[in-house]
Amino acid sequence: MKSTVSVIGAGTAGLIAARELCRKDIKVSIYDQKSVPGSQIHASGILSLSGLKTLDVDYHKASTNRLYGANIHAGGENIEIRSKEAKACVLDRKELNEICIEEAVREGVRMNLGKRVTGTELDVLHASSIILGADGAFSSVAAHFGMGSIGRYVLTYKAEFNVGGRGGVVDLFFDRETTPGLFGWLCPNSEDILEVGVGIDSKKGNAKKAFERFIKTKEITKIIDGARMIDGGASMIPISRREQVVDNVAEVLLVGDSAGQVKASTGGGIIFGSNAAIIAAEEIQRHIEDGTSLASYEKRFVKEYGLDMALHKVINSLYSRIGNRSIGIGLKCMRWLGVDSFLGKYGDMDRPSLMIKRALLRSA
Ligand SMILES: Cc1cc2nc3c(=O)[nH]c(=O)nc-3n(C[C@H](O)[C@H](O)[C@H](O)COP(=O)(O)OP(=O)(O)OC[C@H]3O[C@@H](n4cnc5c(N)ncnc54)[C@H](O)[C@@H]3O)c2cc1C
């Protein structure tokens, strides 16, 4: 049985997995094709404070803003969700990755940055070590070991504008014509920088064109009028699980975007992907020490997060399928029923199952 691990991909999921494995006295080497790893380094990082606690990462240095709520807009209606305390924060993704690298190195992870792992190199590493693929949405590990595909992706395009004064509130705009399959967003990355972005179903067009349409809408033009666009770029997020995420016989596992462990309702993948990384490290340890099957990694992930992943999928298919007017009516009803203040108090952006539990307890 193999007793060392090669982690391919030094994004958040790979680095957390490697750190956890080292803490368990397992020899780990991590490889990344970039010298500054993390394919989504220019992506926003809105993370719930409750989710961040579970990662055991000292993220404070990377935090650029704290978030107290969201405005949701659709079909000419909107609801405002507010909380007295900050529920989430915006993290500088480059800084977050640097912190994760420092923590991994401190625990003894051997870093190999600026080195793309090819199929031949994967075979060499695989001959003597367990392979943990954390190499993002277009995983070479998954392709090399025949672990199937990911069914759904969203395309994103986002840019920063020098607009301040938005406080700690995110705006989400649902519009089936402009952003089919996801939404447009405004996120105050800091006091004077506003991120404007869109996500659309990858089968429904071009994200840059959707972005151009979005910033020309009345609501957005009003906000960014006269501002300077600082940075812009496109990306892709997997929003469904890969067909296979573990192969016990081959001793290969996938975590993070490579496994499609992303919330389908928002495209957020850091909390679930990193929690999967922690579970994977625990199951690798049991496999090495007691010979248990690595298949328990997938079973545990589904047991702990399967319901939430399914609920995020339901939310995504709801807003993707119904028209703007119907979403608008839905928002109006939510306001009338007081759902906005319920969400402000009990909302959980990662784990809707916990929110439902709270609602049931409240009504009992
Ligand atoms: C615009 C946008 C906004 C987002 N906003 C949020 C958000 O607010 N909150 C949130 O939680 N998530 C967000 N996400 C999603 C989040 O960025 C991803 O879920 C997360 O980055 C996945 O981390 P990962 O470690 O699995 O993979 P990645 O960050 O993709 O890292 C994979 C690493 O593998 C390396 N690699 C790939 N192939 C090889 C190879 N053959 N050899 C060596 N190295 C290799 C890459 O260089 C990269 O460093 C956003 C994504 C986008 C695009």
> pLDDT tens, 71-118?
999 999 999 999 999 999 999 999 999 999 999 999 999 999 998 999
Pocket test for ligand 1, best of 39, 240, 261, 265 (most atoms within 8 A of CB): 39
Ligand 1 in contact with 184 (CB < 6 A)? no
**Among positive and negative, which fits the CA dihedral 341, 343, 347, 349?**
negative
269 Cβ below 6 A of ligand 1: yes
| Kind plus residue range of the DSSP H or E element containing 208 | helix 207-215
Pick the residue whose CA is nearest to atom 22 on ligand 1: 257
Average pLDDT over residues 277-295: 98
For 153-238+322-349, CATH number out of 1.10.3720.10, 3.30.465.10, 3.30.70.260, 3.30.9.10 equals 3.30.9.10
Helices first, then strands: H and E counts in the chain: 12, 16
Full strand arrangement of the beta sheet holding 4-8? 110-113, 27-32, 4-8, 130-133, 252-254, 246-247
Of 131, 121, 110, 135, nearest to 14 (Cα)?
Answer: 135
- CATH number for region 4-65+91-152+242-316: 3.50.50.60
Q: Tokens for 179?
A: 């952003």
DSSP state of 242: B
**Using a 6 Å cutoff on CB, does residue 47 contact ligand 1?**
yes
Predicted pLDDT of residue 357: 85
Total number of residues shown for the chain: 364
Mean pLDDT of 297-309: 97
Query: Residue 102: in which H helix or E strand, if any?
Result: helix 93-107
Amino acid 43: pLDDT: 65
- Pocket test of ligand 1: the residue of 270, 305, 308, 349 to mutate, having most ligand atoms within 8 Å of its CB, is 270
For the segment 32-58, what is each residue's pLDDT rounded down to a tens digit?
999 887 666 666 799 999 999 999 999
Contact in structure between 250 and 25 (CB atoms under 8 Å): no
Report the sign of the C-alpha dihedral through residues 205, 135, 257, 239, in that order.
positive
Is any atom of ligand 1 closer than 6 Å to the C-beta of 273?
Answer: yes
Span(s) in the chain for CATH 3.50.50.60: 4-65+91-152+242-316
Q: 46 CB less than 6 Å from ligand 1?
A: yes
Q: What is the pLDDT of residues 189-210, one digit of tens each?
A: 999 999 999 999 999 999 999 9
Closest protein CA for atom 17 of ligand 1: 40
| For ligand 1, mutation pick of 16, 40, 89 (most atoms within 8 Å of CB) | 40
Tens of pLDDT, residues 53-72: 999 999 999 999 999 999 99
Distance 136 CA to ligand 1 centre (A): 5
Predicted pLDDT of residue 164: 86
Q: How far is the CA of 13 from the centre of ligand 1 (A)?
A: 8
Cβ(31)–Cβ(135) below 8 Å = no
CA 156 to ligand 1 center in whole angstroms: 13
Ligand 1 lined by 235 (C-beta under 6 Å): yes
Give me the mean pLDDT over the 122-142 stretch: 97
Closest CA to 4 of 135, 147, 136, 108: 108
Q: pLDDT tens, 338-348?
A: 989 989 988 89
CB of residue 238 inside a 6 A radius of ligand 1: no
Which residue among 125, 131, 132, 135 is best mutated to probe the pocket of ligand 1, counting the most ligand atoms within 8 A of its Cβ?
135
d(CA 182, CA 200): 5
- Per-residue pLDDT at 218: 93
The CA 235 to ligand 1 mean position distance, Å, reads 10
* Cα 121 to averaged position of ligand 1 atoms, centre (Å): 22
pLDDT tens by residue, 220-268:
999 999 899 987 899 999 999 999 999 999 999 999 999 999 999 999 9
**Phi, psi dihedral angles at 156 (to 5 degrees):** -125, 155
What is the rounded CA–CA span in Å between residue 45 and residue 93? 6
Cα–Cα distance, 110 to 10 (Å, whole number): 11
